[in-house]
């Protein structure tokens, strides 16, 4: 997570506006909720929304205000213990798996905490500007909060989705365009390619280290796999035939009795799924979502294909769709659903995070920075798979060809999809 | 759970008043809470307060209104599935361990549910009176709700007590009288005694079946064991010396790293404990509470004594203190703490539930009634121990010498204490 | 576990013969086994046979030889750590659940250990006789080894019975007499009865404390329930109907998918079960075995009856069949099966351990002795149910009306059966 | 797992000799064991030695004899169910985690099974030669058995090593030469390199697919890390300082209370470890072994270095030590220990499997073969890390620069070590 030396220096005013805009967005996501919805943790991977509200605030309090604003007084001495996530450098913390048992502080107290930190940040930026040595922490703080915005959407959907009342988050009306669902492939010739981030904008340390890779020639599908294609897999017995599956994947299928993507149910012979607008019929033309790595991998094998590696994905994206098309779903952040592919959009950006067949590992020359911010990415580099591209819930400045997202292969409550590939 | 044939027949008006008074009391217990506090389930034995609010309402809807009030419409067709506790006769139900993941219905919706059922009950009683065949279900409904009132106090204390912020439920000011803590015993001679309920008032089926038991001569302490006496046990190494413990108890101590009663912490050399008024110093003169059966048993062995059986307790109570003294703690339901023993009160009533060394088993001639209400008591008669006497959180008409409470031996979040006994 | 002061004093020679006979019997039980069979622990409750061989030997080494035979040298300094079972007084010990991972010492080494301790015991008894202060420990040692002989039979059956090859222990030929399976009851009038052991023979501390109990009038079946009667329960849907079951029992049935007693399988429409002679058809006239407390309780409720208490059992036995009939199964220890009831034998003795509806609790005046031998019985007095009567694998001098066996209610690998009762 | 078309065609006699030699070697590894040692499974990853003996035999019976030898009769119809490991194509199988509860078939019966299959294989090869279409299955069978030979050594060490008696497998006398332990690095310039297997010899499918990779310039240590170097890590507090660890690694350390490599114990201030010759002092000059991926990774970060990727390892090996030096440890298979590095041996071969920082993933163009043999490698390609080089227990023809071994990152009962690397 670095900013290059040449990065544009914004004015204090600009920094402040960016800060306040992002802070406000976090709260906007929570608008449809009542206090009860902010508290629970149905599975360990889901955090209570009020925890996200507080944790993102703790980040600015801890890495900016606490040590750098003269006379700053912690809002509450117990909050660092409650709202540190995993930063060992920042001391003891409440156990992650027990986030869902804390009813206090109440939501309104956490909103007061947010206001308090916002006010102090405003005062700090107005007084000091943003000192050079805090710029990195500040920018990470903004990006960190945006990552949590996306996680909050996942978590809110999970909290609502497991409730038998199938509550509606917001009623979205999707424009249905004429979809373009042919099965075409983008071909990339063998050669040395450069991958990794290079430039002046904010980016994370895990994507830094531009370097060369040699790729044998390959091709990738020019769109995401659709729900309809996956229904064929299901209905041909895909979940019952071990030969498509990694062994750990098939064990997961059998142990959990899996028969469909997360949030999918068969009701009166019809595939239904839980959306942010409540229970709906599955739209076969939409990109498939809510599958884990095992399912993505099994589907690709059933099709006689495979998943691309993260570098195959990045190179194809840079070569064939270097710029974000205007139609990309994430541009309207309020429409919380994937949309069918229309026209020539290759769906590299902001539709669904795409599972790759790359494990999450460091780039050559990667080193972990000292101090708490060094704990941001590097310590997770084992047993996780890389996802690329972004989902409709991803903030726009988190969409870029080099961005590396990562999750354990069994998880599927986030907005995940896949694209097929083949060595040629 | 039966009422005898001679039970006083109340007027509809009287029934209604009783009903409304009890229903109101349930809500009064929740007054200090905000919506967040109603949702969580920190351990499987604790239910979210909003679940109690709804479940007690479901009871009247299910056993009175649904089948007996012409034209009654369920408030919500999903609620029976959500708020049935364990009645197999009443069909499928939401898994108990997952009560704490349901953020909907919101508290305000559940309060609407309560109002709806209250109104219909009022209308029903005003129109029909209370038909003879519903009298049992109705009275069980009232007693059931009072049992849940006590459980709610346990559960609220648990929810607040595990929070590092140690939130206050209400600030109670206890009058501290001059305690009388001598160690005197009540002696009971050998003989045939009658135990079990006989009379015209409401009582549960598990206490019915008045029958004779032969007791060898024995004596029991004329008050509850105090916190101060238990501190001696702790400080003499009681938790480290296996010889006082049942094997399962000592395994629990080692596995969980237990060093004191639940809610007790040692801070700067001082024993503190979490109360409904927040964190306080342990008052050595108060009855000990929040110990499980293993601890009660170990303490009694360390003292060279034992726990009384449930019949020894009942006979001693009936012989020595047949009537409830005016000083009994539970008379002021709003003072949620045990009080030191004063004067001649033997503390049989309403201070703390007293662990006995009797397993919860049926009385001779006990049979389980048909239908859902038959599931009330009988199906729990294994692996649990009987407690007698009632706590300060117990409603007054649940205090009687024959009342049998029961819990698994490892539990201690409820208001439990003990009294020593000895065979003579 | 005491011997009364008046107990017959045997000569050293008689003690030695008793000792050697019992020691030999333990080894005889293992004759059909090969070394591999001695090592495994398929579930935590089953111990490897070689562990039993060594543990019973450790008992004599620890409580007789180590401190009382001058110059005695431990066979191996590591064995006390390996072969102590649960005696906290005797120091650290190998974890029970891991007994099945120890391949060393080999069986032949353990047999050398047995021979070494036998020789030293012989030498000790020949030299010293049996000093008065060791008589109790010695007699407990003998009775302890006989209890382990019975456990070894359970454990060997378990080890063979879970193997898909269904290996034969020994081929037994059972004489099939004309069974007498009418359903008659023995009636006992209300009154004060004496229970508990009184006499000069060896007995355990848990049965001591002869005392009076008052029993309301009742009756008990004059034989054990048969396999055929239980098949009716199964085939009427007994395992599917919650109304017969204790809640914990029904949860066990659902969680484990239980459909029949342990070792029973339905094959081509026929009930088969695994016996010490391999897989056989279920004989409907034989006493039912291998059911746990939950199943015994559910069956009795399905029949409109209940289980007797341990005192109802003891009083009925003493009144109606004070002496052991010649036909009792256990008289031929080598016929490892229950036999159909013939003639007037009430099957109180040595057919199958009978579940009672009594929890395992202390008798009035019971106290735990000091030292390691005090750990023999008392520390298990919670969460277990009492069984009475003995099985065909029980040694003859462990059969008496006052003998109290105890197991957790979910267990059923031992030879368990039941008898119906009713309050009259 | 393929043999190229140009592979040397051996005569039937040569095939048979190879077969018999490998089969004999498996049994030779078991010579120091008694029947008890063959049965247990202390953790799920360890299989009982008798299972290995039978499973390797089942492989030849299943893939050669059963369908190809006219008139062949299975040795025992139950064995395929018992001794299939994970081949879904071959039908149902006994659960892996329960291999350690099967005492039958006895070892002597399994030896009869081995002899029976050997005789039939001999007869088959003598009669038919080795038909072209069975050559692959036959060669995989041989290599498969050699892999199990190595696993048996791991498993035997585990079975003996957890026993408090610390039994000796065999007493090996190690020649101690003058070690050469300087810290020198082999430097490799950036460029395109070829990796993967190319040639005519037997190899596995996972190493096939020779392809190009681009490597940035780097260097690797010219020997393995020593036990002495790791002691410095331990004694500087390496296991307590989270900053060296992957998060999952540090959680493992805390949860399991890890303080040293597997089999290491500190005794009277001295580091001891369990070896095939029993308990010995740690030799600081020997290569470190029995560390898992998390430990290897943490050590390398503590040193300011990192692990090499599998391609960095392969390229360095091919460039700097293409041929196996005579001194390589594995040449004397009977000396079951790593030896200090002497002279110029870079220890790429046969000392200890070296953890790389590469996840186990397919090479470009990799496809899984149809049928059961296709299940050999591909279905394990998730959540595992690649190890390279071979250990002293690895058979010689399993040592080659392209060989890919793989294990989950938390495992360490196998002979694992590490080599440092750095991007330059």
Is residue C327 a contact partner of residue C267, using CB atoms and an 8 Å limit? no
How many other C-beta atoms can be found within 10 angstroms of the C-beta atom of residue A397? 14
* pLDDT tens figures, B42-68: 999 999 999 999 999 999 999 999 999
Q: What are chain B's partners, defined as 3 or more CB pairs within 8 angstroms?
A: A, C
Q: How many residues does chain A have?
A: 424
Query: Under 8 Å CB-to-CB from C235, ≥6 apart: which residues?
Result: none
Using the Cβ of C91 and the Cβ atoms of chain B, whether some distance falls under 8 Å is answered with: no
D94 contacts in chain C (CB < 8 Å): 164
In D162-290, alpha helices (H): 227-235, 247-256
Please name the helix (run of DSSP H) or strand (run of DSSP E) that holds residue D55, with its range, or none.
Answer: helix D49-60
DSSP assignments along B129-175, one per residue: ---HHHHHHHHHHHHHHHHHHHHHHHHHHHHHHTSTT---S------
Which pLDDT belongs to residue C11?
83
Angle between the N-to-C axes of helices B107-128 and B49-60, in degrees from 0 to 180, rounded to the nearest 10 = 20
How many other C-beta atoms can be found within 10 angstroms of the C-beta atom of residue A272? 16
ipTM computed for the complex? 0.95
Which pLDDT belongs to residue A334?
60
Question: CA-to-CA distance for D265 and B196, rounded, in angstroms?
Answer: 62
A385 contacts in chain D (CB < 8 Å): 382
Using the Cβ of D111 and the Cβ atoms of chain C, whether some distance falls under 8 Å is answered with: no
The pTM of this model reads: 0.95
Question: CA-to-CA distance for C66 and D152, rounded, in angstroms?
Answer: 40
* pLDDT tens figures, B373-416: 888 889 999 999 999 999 999 998 899 999 999 999 999 999 99
A365 contacts in chain D (CB < 8 Å): 216, 423
The two tokens of residue A35 are 């206090």
Is residue C420 a contact partner of residue C303, using CB atoms and an 8 Å limit? yes
Question: What is the C-alpha radius of gyration for chain B, rounded to an integer number of angstroms?
Answer: 22
Which pLDDT belongs to residue D112?
98
Interval A30-45 mean pLDDT: 97
A160 pLDDT more than 80: yes
Q: How many CB pairs under 8 A join A and D?
A: 85
Which pLDDT belongs to residue D11?
82
Give the residue from B36, B39, B75, B166 with the most A CB atoms within 10 Å of its CB, the best one to mutate.
B36
B250 contacts in chain C (CB < 8 Å): 88, 379
Q: How confident is the model at residue D252 (pLDDT cuts 50, 70, 90)?
A: very high
Q: Measure CB to CB from residue B383 to each of C211, C212, C409 and give the nearest one.
A: C409
The two tokens of residue B233 are 């046990």
pLDDT above 70: percentage of residues in chain C = 96
Q: How confident is the model at residue A7 (pLDDT cuts 50, 70, 90)?
A: very low
Q: How many residues does chain D have?
A: 424
Q: Which residues pair with D409 in a beta bridge?
A: none
Restricting to B residues 343-382, those with a Cβ less than 8 Å away from any Cβ of C are 357-359, 361-362, 364-365, 368, 374, 379-382
Interval A220-226 mean pLDDT: 97
Q: What are chain A's partners, defined as 3 or more CB pairs within 8 angstroms?
A: B, D
Q: Give the gap in angstroms from C-alpha A49 to the nearest C-alpha of chain B.
A: 12
- Give the distance from CA C80 to its chain's centroid: 25
Using the Cβ of C209 and the Cβ atoms of chain D, whether some distance falls under 8 Å is answered with: no
Mean pLDDT of chain D: 93
D6 pLDDT more than 80: no
Is residue B198 a contact partner of residue B211, using CB atoms and an 8 Å limit? no
How many other C-beta atoms can be found within 10 angstroms of the C-beta atom of residue C119? 10
Q: What are chain C's partners, defined as 3 or more CB pairs within 8 angstroms?
A: B, D
C103 to D40: CB separation less than 8 angstroms, yes or no: yes
Which pLDDT belongs to residue B2?
44
Please name the helix (run of DSSP H) or strand (run of DSSP E) that holds residue C250, with its range, or none.
Answer: helix C247-256
Q: Chains C vs D: touching, with 3+ CB pairs under 8 Å?
A: yes
Using the Cβ of D278 and the Cβ atoms of chain C, whether some distance falls under 8 Å is answered with: no
Interval A318-322 mean pLDDT: 95
Question: CA-to-CA distance for C197 and C206, rounded, in angstroms?
Answer: 9
Q: How many CB pairs under 8 A join A and B?
A: 85
A171 pLDDT more than 50: yes
- Give the distance from CA A150 to its chain's centroid: 6
Of residues A382, A414, A387, A379, the one with CA closest to residue A205: A379
Q: What are chain D's partners, defined as 3 or more CB pairs within 8 angstroms?
A: A, C
Using CA atoms, how far residue A99 sits from A48, A84, A154, A169, B359, in Å, is 7, 11, 16, 22, 37
**Is D325 or B142 the better-scoring residue by pLDDT?**
B142
B11 pLDDT more than 80: yes
* pLDDT tens figures, A324-379: 887 677 766 667 788 889 888 999 999 999 999 999 999 998 988 888 888 888 99
Domain boundaries, chain D: 12-161, 185-423
Taking only the tens of pLDDT, chain C with its 424 residues reads: 444 444 446 788 999 999 999 999 999 999 999 999 999 999 999 999 999 999 999 999 999 999 999 999 999 999 999 999 989 888 889 999 999 999 999 999 999 999 999 999 999 999 989 999 999 999 999 999 999 999 999 999 999 999 999 999 998 776 666 888 999 999 999 999 999 999 989 999 999 989 999 999 999 999 999 999 999 999 999 999 999 999 999 999 999 999 999 999 999 999 999 999 999 999 999 999 999 999 999 999 999 999 999 999 999 999 999 988 876 777 666 677 888 898 889 999 999 999 999 999 999 989 888 888 888 889 999 999 999 999 999 998 899 999 999 999 999 999 999 999 999 9
* pLDDT tens figures, C4-55: 444 446 788 999 999 999 999 999 999 999 999 999 999 999 999 999 999 9
Q: How confident is the model at residue A123 (pLDDT cuts 50, 70, 90)?
A: very high
Residue B305 three-state SS: coil
Angle between the N-to-C axes of helices A49-60 and A132-161, in degrees from 0 to 180, rounded to the nearest 10 = 180
Question: CA-to-CA distance for C74 and A362, rounded, in angstroms?
Answer: 58
Query: Judging by beta carbons within 10 Å of its beta carbon (0-12, 13-18, 19+), is residue D298 exposed, middle or buried?
Result: buried
pLDDT above 70: percentage of residues in chain D = 96
Per-residue DSSP letter, A105: S
How many other C-beta atoms can be found within 10 angstroms of the C-beta atom of residue B151? 18
Q: Which residue has the tokens 């149902």?
A: D92
The two tokens of residue B134 are 């519903």
Question: CA-to-CA distance for C359 and D246, rounded, in angstroms?
Answer: 51
Q: Provide the pairing of β-strand C185-188 with D191-195.
A: unpaired
Q: Which residue has the tokens 């355990």?
A: C204
Restricting to A residues 302-321, those with a Cβ less than 8 Å away from any Cβ of D are 306
* pLDDT tens figures, A93-118: 999 999 999 999 999 999 999 999 99
B1 pLDDT more than 50: no
Residue A272 three-state SS: strand
Using CA atoms, how far residue C231 sits from B171, C264, C288, C353, in Å, is 62, 11, 10, 20
At B243, give phi and psi (nearest 5°): -65, -15
Q: How confident is the model at residue D373 (pLDDT cuts 50, 70, 90)?
A: confident
Q: Which residues pair with D306 in a beta bridge?
A: D421
Which pLDDT belongs to residue B6?
40
Using CA atoms, how far residue B130 sits from A96, A248, B13, B75, D26, in Å, is 52, 61, 10, 22, 84
List the CATH code of the domain at A185-423.
3.90.1580.10
Is residue B211 a contact partner of residue B186, using CB atoms and an 8 Å limit? no
Restricting to A residues 236-275, those with a Cβ less than 8 Å away from any Cβ of D are 242-243, 245-250
Is residue A303 a contact partner of residue A420, using CB atoms and an 8 Å limit? yes
DSSP assignments along B251-293, one per residue: HHHHHHT--SSTTEEEETTEEEEEETTEEEE--TTSBP-S--H
pLDDT above 90: percentage of residues in chain B = 83
Using CA atoms, how far residue D387 sits from A4, D404, D409, in Å, is 36, 6, 10
The two tokens of residue B38 are 């109603």
Q: How many residues does chain C have?
A: 424
Of residues D402, D365, D410, the one with CA closest to residue D383: D410
Is residue D250 a contact partner of residue D241, using CB atoms and an 8 Å limit? no
Question: CA-to-CA distance for D176 and D172, rounded, in angstroms?
Answer: 12
The two tokens of residue C276 are 């010490």
The two tokens of residue C294 are 């939950």
How many other C-beta atoms can be found within 10 angstroms of the C-beta atom of residue C217? 13
At D314, give phi and psi (nearest 5°): -65, -40
Q: How confident is the model at residue B3 (pLDDT cuts 50, 70, 90)?
A: very low
How many other C-beta atoms can be found within 10 angstroms of the C-beta atom of residue B81? 14
Question: CA-to-CA distance for D237 and D244, rounded, in angstroms?
Answer: 11
Which pLDDT belongs to residue C1?
42
The two tokens of residue B125 are 């009683």
Interval B25-36 mean pLDDT: 96
Give the residue from C96, C97, C361, C382 with the most B CB atoms within 10 Å of its CB, the best one to mutate.
C382
At D141, give phi and psi (nearest 5°): -55, -45
Q: How confident is the model at residue D145 (pLDDT cuts 50, 70, 90)?
A: very high
Long-range contacts: A269-274, Cβ < 8 Å, 24+?
A271/A227, A271/A231, A274/A157, A274/A160, A274/A161, A274/A166
C82 contacts in chain D (CB < 8 Å): 164
Which pLDDT belongs to residue B136?
93
């Amino acid at each position: 997570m670095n900013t290059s030396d040449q990065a544009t220096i914004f004015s204090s005013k600009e920094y402040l506006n960016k800060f306040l805009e992002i802070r406000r967005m976090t709260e906007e996501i929570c608008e449809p909720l009542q206090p009860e919805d902010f508290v629970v943790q149905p599975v360990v991977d889901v955090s209570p929304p009020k925890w996200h509200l507080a944790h993102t605030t703790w980040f600015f309090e801890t890495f900016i205000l606490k040590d750098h604003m003269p006379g700053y007084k912690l809002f509450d001495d117990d909050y660092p213990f409650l709202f540190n996530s995993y930063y060992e450098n920042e001391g003891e913390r409440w156990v992650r798996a027990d986030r869902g048992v804390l009813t206090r502080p109440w939501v309104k107290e956490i909103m007061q905490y947010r206001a308090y930190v916002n006010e102090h940040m405003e005062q700090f930026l107005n007084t000091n500007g943003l000192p050079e040595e805090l710029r990195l922490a500040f920018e990470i703080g903004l990006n960190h909060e945006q990552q949590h915005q996306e996680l909050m959407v996942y978590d809110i959907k999970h909290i609502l989705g497991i409730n038998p009342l199938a509550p509606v988050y917001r009623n979205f009306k999707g424009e249905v365009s004429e979809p373009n669902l042919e099965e075409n492939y983008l071909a990339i010739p063998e050669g040395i390619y450069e991958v990794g981030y290079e430039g002046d904008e904010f980016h994370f340390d895990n994507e830094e280290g531009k370097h060369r890779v040699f790729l044998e020639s390959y091709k990738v599908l020019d769109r995401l796999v659709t729900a309809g294609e996956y229904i064929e897999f299901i209905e041909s017995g895909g979940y019952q035939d071990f030969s498509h599956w990694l062994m750990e994947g098939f064990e997961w299928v059998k142990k959990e009795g899996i028969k469909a993507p997360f949030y999918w149910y068969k009701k009166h012979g019809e595939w239904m799924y839980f959306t942010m607008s409540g229970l709906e019929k599955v739209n076969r033309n939409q990109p498939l979502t809510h599958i884990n790595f095992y399912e993505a991998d099994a589907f690709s094998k059933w099709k006689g294909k495979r998943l691309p590696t993260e570098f195959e994905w990045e190179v194809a994206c840079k070569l064939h769709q270097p710029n974000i098309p205007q139609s990309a779903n994430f541009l309207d952040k309020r429409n919380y659903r994937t949309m069918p592919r229309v026209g020539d959009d290759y769906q590299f950006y902001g539709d669904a995070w795409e599972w790759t067949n790359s494990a999450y590992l460091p780039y050559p020359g990667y080193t972990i920075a000292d101090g708490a911010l060094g704990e941001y990415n590097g310590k997770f580099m084992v047993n996780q798979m890389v996802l690329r591209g972004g989902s409709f819930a991803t903030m726009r400045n988190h969409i870029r060809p080099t961005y590396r997202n990562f999750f354990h292969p069994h998880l599927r409550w986030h907005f995940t999809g896949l694209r097929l590939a083949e060595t040629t």
